[in-house]
Amino acid sequence: MERVPYQSAAEGQGEMPCDGSVTTMMPLGYDPQKKRYVGTWIGSMMSHLWVYEGELDASGSVLTLETVGPNMAAEGEIVKFRDTIEFKSDEHRVLISHMLGEDGKWLEIMTADYRRNK
pTM for this one? 0.81
pLDDT digits 0-9 by tens, 70-112: 987 788 899 999 999 999 988 898 999 999 998 999 999 988 8
- Output the DSSP codes for 70-97: E-TTSTT-EEEEEEEEEEEETTEEEEEE
